[in-house]
Structure 1
């Protein structure tokens, strides 16, 4: 099948912004799926794997494909009409999903297969896994509840879907609606590349001069370099107050209702609180285990950050500042500290980290580890002109799948970075290869200029590409077990692990080359980079861990009248949060937690997975080769290609030969030997 027909067929609806066409297609797909489910539930055949579990697995593919297509359009090229459809469509989809999960006849058939020990013994390992996961999902969705409770749970799920959509749209409105025009006199301290990016942002909006937006790729370097404390304070307040202003985009009542409904849902399902419900299906299992990990890290991180605050204060006083370091000032003086102590600043790296070369670097790592190659596809169009596509080939030249990248920020695009799936891998009926995409929000350069990344941007690119590889390399039979369909506190392992190869000397020397001279990044500069990461570790760890602890506290109660901002303030007070640091995601724009169920009571999972990724990369260090073939083969077999085919703890132990060493996390973050 040609590139045009393979990608074109799957991209399908992603090229249209016609909400009415989407709505009509959804009407048809929901109706078709409902007929399939009714047929499975009404079947008079003796329930078995094929006519129940596998039949469910095969059902609803047109609806699934349409949902995936709509999701990318709604997140990256949204319109008022698309947003209006989101507000009506997602509650309807929620009600449809609930009607399946709460179908008593259907659940009885699933349960019959799941408890049939004789029948299970005849199944393959993946068939047993799919059976167990299907049964568990229905139980967790309320299949065992009485009729009244089922009805209430379906109402809760529908209302939550409405609130999740509202929360995300409110953030987008605040982000896209805020700009700060900058005159020539407002650019003091800003490097040339940043000025050019700010001018490009102005041109994109039909304005003259320079414009600061709330894109992280513009905001963070502005905070690091601007000599104007007043402008830093203005920008920082806008960034940290997203979703927290009176008016139509106020997320405060939205998140309060979400928390109340989640608490009620957990109680209906027999759990002490929502955190207990959510974690019961993860590697961590209990809130106590999560809190123990977070607090083990919090103590050393806060101590380091408090020492850093004193150091930054000395720099500020030496320059004539008398007030304590404000949160809007931290990055500015941290930049000065790096210059003073390490003779290093982030802007030195920019010319060596062009977007094109970093994409090539990520592909090179995938080739060295897993034998993949990437061929550009020029013959198809996707949801936006910026989207790029590649055909992915195995070492033997056969097709592994397709990869798409949408890298630049725009006003119609949700902030952040993510990976998702347009077509999942599976091996049913001859199988299908996956089509995976990454979305980032890097600042777009002016016409004719190369896109230059910060080290943080480059790390984000590698992180999301690690997720993409998890989807691309999947090799399982069933789509529900495919790729990233794993426990939330395991899903970050492939992505965070892949970040390590960005700083491998062989990769930096080959791909981190000066955009004008072509010279490789100096070794002395890479050493400074490593030192800079350690010097900023206290700040990075405190702002992340505080967010994770607040998330846990928000969901480990059953308060019928939650006050999330009060919980946030009280948690930070008890933690002794340094006054000069703000949590990475304040609750009114904590999209991980309030734009869906994915990371709710689960933001800790980045740290949980970091224990795994730190320990996993040490396996390569122990071999003496960051691309050690035998270690890479185990990693491919037991992590990147395994999906949810087995329990993640079992998969990790098979790769590493033992359980992970928690001390590896402290070594990675530079806290080794520091007591909590």
Structure 2
């Protein structure tokens, strides 16, 4: 019998080079990884052994063309390891982590390759390069230098060992977190304990229980952040406490899924690696190649915001405590009470109950009439579902994206529902990255973790889930619209502290009048959300911002604290370190827990945001200033969308992002719009 060919070894023949998910089997992955790594090492060897003097074509372009088999298998494998993991995939990921780290080091620490890049960099002014190619050369030289290409052979050996160990530890951290998150889902025996939840939410809890073989019970699955959207609605205080306690227990219960030792070892090894590379800390190493440039710049900005946020949170806490007393209860407000009484005070102050919004936020209507509609109005693009194209899971839907003239833009894949095989949170990935050099199109994905109701019931989103969908779609548009020559610059391949900017801008359209009117319709009656409710939502825009800003800043500052540790510093207790770090910045209020505690802080210990979680609010300065620009210039118009697309989204990573921002805005960003938005004046 003939052995079926490995689908990763050649480009897909499906539309837009969509990976042939129906053909991919577990046994294809490891051989494709092995073949891909071997192929790329051979391609790099051909570059370094070329007797001709280095040129852009025989060095950088050759590097950009290398590793295509590895890229194909890695993008699929790691996309699925997040969105649809299996025991096989989890085991293989742990197996591959040190091998892939060693492979990356074999290229980035290759002395002969670095010498060719350095030679080109020294002669850069005489090469007559176009702007994108000049930036490519600058990025290669900077990244290889920071990666350690100039170290001694002995130091490179040490660096390789550190990188391999870190890759294993961060992979294990994510595996532990997923397992513990599933194990700690809260099981409810009596539906009466779910009082306050809507029919859709109760249906989702029943469906989650059924999938676990717990027929007749109800299961509340955990989300990635500390807080849970159901805390705002559940009237049973004991259930609220159980839910928040479960969330905060992840990674600290002992046993095989405990992440405390991993946190300590990861941060210690990152500090050692930073010193080896010539930096005082991992935070200094990371920010040196971001727009921030130094951890001091990050500390300065976060330090300006934290005191005002903490004061606002304390003021909000006093109002919530008063609401507790007015309700006839006699207890001190705890963290699991905050969201519930926030809704009580919000309703009393602004006559807004966010649970009243759910019937107006039916998933399909939000997607088609909100998210897609705003993109069409701004950019002229259209979205056509392609049920003939298969993604990785039956719940993942494929849409073809076309420009106004019918020319293809790419594919968008949406996977909205939570499942035990999917990690928490929401994110965007690129399955295929656009590059005119390689002739590749763009395929992007969005993953959310919306609770799936029973068959026949509508999927009604919370206010925050709608906002998340608009946010992640902003990343998707960035990936779809970037038009670059070199694959290194495709889509969202920009500085980490810039990447959140386009996605945050896209959030503005959620409440934009023409957009909201088009999608916020009652799922039963079709009636528009009442204007008075919309007005009250806007009036309450800064309500609870003290809490929201404090919980975010606590996580961002905790991330910085872990990564400002020096190589000679000793930390032995995760809880003590975390408590001291939060107390040092005045964000140690027990009623306002950090958005992520260390042992489930996936962004920083397994998600690539190490020393970079500050990026969200750093990017929000640009975002708020951009929202002000759209507002001043007529809002939802094609002229505005075309300008933003051409001067920012379309640039991808092919130039200095702050220069692109100045080209779009006409100046550097001002911080005042951010302070106004968050009530931090």
Decide whether the 8 Å contact of 1:14 with 1:73 is kept in 2: no
Query: Displacement of 1:395 after TM fit?
Result: 1.3
2:123 corresponds to which of 116, 120, 123 = 116
CA contact (8 A) 1:194 1:218 kept: no
- Two-structure CA RMSD over aligned residues (Å): 1.7
- In the TM superposition, what is the alpha-carbon distance from 1:54 to its structure 2 partner? 0.5
- Give how far 1:145 is off: 0.3
Query: 1: CA distance between counterparts of 2:154 and 2:602?
Result: 31
Residue equivalent to 1:272: 280
CA distance in structure 1 between the aligned counterparts of 2:145 and 2:225, rounded to whole angstroms: 42
SS in 2 for 1:329: helix
**Range 101-110 or range 215-224, more displaced:** 215-224
Output the CA distance in 2 between the equivalents of 1:90 and 1:8: 29
Give the CA deviation at 1:374: 0.7
Q: Which residue number corresponds to residue 99 of structure 1?
A: 106
**Do residues 527 (structure 1) and 527 (structure 2) align?**
no
Q: Distance in 2 between matches of 1:425 and 1:486?
A: 14
8 Å contact 1:113–1:119 — kept in the other structure? no
Cα distance per residue 1:230-262 (max 9 Å; x no partner): 111111011012111101011100011110111
Residue 203 of structure 1 and its aligned partner are, at CA, apart by: 2.1
Aligned position for 2:53? 46
Partner of 2:562: 554
Q: What residue in structure 2 maps to residue 85 of structure 1?
A: 92
Is structure 2 residue 381 aligned with structure 1 residue 375? no
Contact 1:459/1:499 (8 A) holds in 2: yes
**Unmatched runs of 5 consecutive residues or more in structure 1:** none
Provide the residue aligned with 2:478 in structure 1.
470
- Partner of residue 545, structure 1: 553
CA distance in 2, matches of 1:520, 1:218: 33
Question: What is the rounded CA distance, in whole Å, between the counterparts of 1:446 and 1:484 in structure 2?
Answer: 36
Matching residue of 2:356 = 348
**In the TM superposition, what is the alpha-carbon distance from 1:605 to its structure 2 partner?**
0.6
Secondary structure of 2:576's aligned partner:
helix
Tell me if structure 1 keeps the 8 A contact 2:396–2:415.
yes
Aligned counterparts of 1:141 and 1:14: Cα–Cα separation in 2: 38
Deviation string for 1:567-593 (max 9, x for gaps)? 210021122322211000111110000
1:61/1:235 CA distance change after superposition, 3 Å = same
| CA shift for structure 1 position 81 | 1.4
Of the candidates 640, 643, 668, which is equivalent to residue 652 of structure 2?
A: 643
1:489 pairs with 482, 488, 497, which one? 497
Could you say which residue in structure 1 is the equivalent of 2:161?
155
Matching of residues 122-521 of structure 1 within 5 Å: 122-182=128-188, 183-207=190-214, 208-215=216-223, 220-360=228-368, 361-428=370-437, 431-521=439-529
Q: How many residues align?
A: 664
Decide whether aligned partners of structure 1 residues 172 and 15 sit closer, same or farther in structure 2, where only a CA change above 3 A counts: farther
Q: 1:53, 1:131 within 8 Å by CA — same for their partners in 2?
A: yes
1:658 maps onto 2:664 in alignment = no
Counterpart-to-counterpart distance in 2, 1:247 and 1:138 = 39
Assess, with a 3 A threshold, how the Cα gap between structure 1 residues 419 and 21 changes in structure 2: closer, same or farther.
same
**What does the per-residue CA deviation read over 1:264-309, in whole Å, with 9 as the maximum and x for residues that have no partner?**
1110111111111100111111111111111221122111110110
Residue-by-residue CA offset, 1:284-342 (whole Å, 9 max, x unaligned): 11111111111221122111110110011011122233332111111111111112222
CA distance in 1, matches of 2:605, 2:223: 20
- The match for 2:590 is 579
Asked if residue 631 in structure 1 is aligned to residue 636 in structure 2, the reply is: no
Q: 1:216 to 1:140 in 2, by over 3 A?
A: closer
1: distance between equivalents of 2:109 and 2:246? 43
- 1:405·1:437 contact (CA, 8 Å) conserved in 2? yes
Name the CA distance, whole Å, in 2 between partners of 1:145 and 1:187.
59
The CA distance in 1 between the partners of 2:469 and 2:425, in whole Å, is 11
Q: 1:103 to 1:407 in 2, by over 3 A?
A: same
* SS in structure 2 of the partner of residue 428 of structure 1: coil
Superimposed CA distance per residue, residues 494-542 of structure 1 (whole angstroms, 9 cap, x where no aligned partner): 0000000111011011111110111111111112222343211111000
TM-score (structure 2 length as normaliser): 0.95
Question: Aligned partners of 1:315 and 1:449: how far apart in 2?
Answer: 34
Distance 1:148 1:13, change over 3 A: farther
Q: Give yes or no for the alignment of 1:615 onto 2:625.
A: yes
Change (3 A) 1:491 1:476: same
Q: Distance in 1 between matches of 2:257 and 2:224?
A: 20
Question: What are the superposed Cα offsets for residues 34-74 of structure 1, whole Å, 9 maximum, x if unpaired?
Answer: 11111111111110100000000000011011100001121
Q: Against the structure 1 CA distance between its residues 115 and 8, is the aligned structure 2 distance closer, same or farther, given a 3 Å change threshold?
A: closer
Contact kept? 1:181, 1:210, Cα under 8 Å: yes
Structure 1 CA distance, aligned partners of 2:630 and 2:213?
50
SS in structure 1 at match of 2:415:
strand
CA contact (8 A) 2:306 2:586 kept: no
Determine the C-alpha separation between the residues in 2 that align with 1:584 and 1:14.
38
Q: Could you give the per-residue CA deviations for residues 11-30 of structure 1, whole angstroms, max 9, x where no partner exists?
A: 23586451x32111111111
Corresponding residue number in structure 1 for 2:544? 536
- The whole-number CA distance in structure 2 between the counterparts of 1:95 and 1:297 is 40
> SS of 2:399's equivalent?
strand
Find the counterpart in structure 1 of residue 602 from structure 2.
591
How far apart, CA to CA, are the structure 2 residues paired with 1:8 and 1:449? 34
Contact 2:21 2:391 in 1 (8 A): no
Separation in 2 of the partners of 1:218 and 1:246? 19
Instruction: Report deviation, 1:117.
Output: 3.2
- Contact 1:466–1:494 (CA<8 Å) still a contact in 2? yes
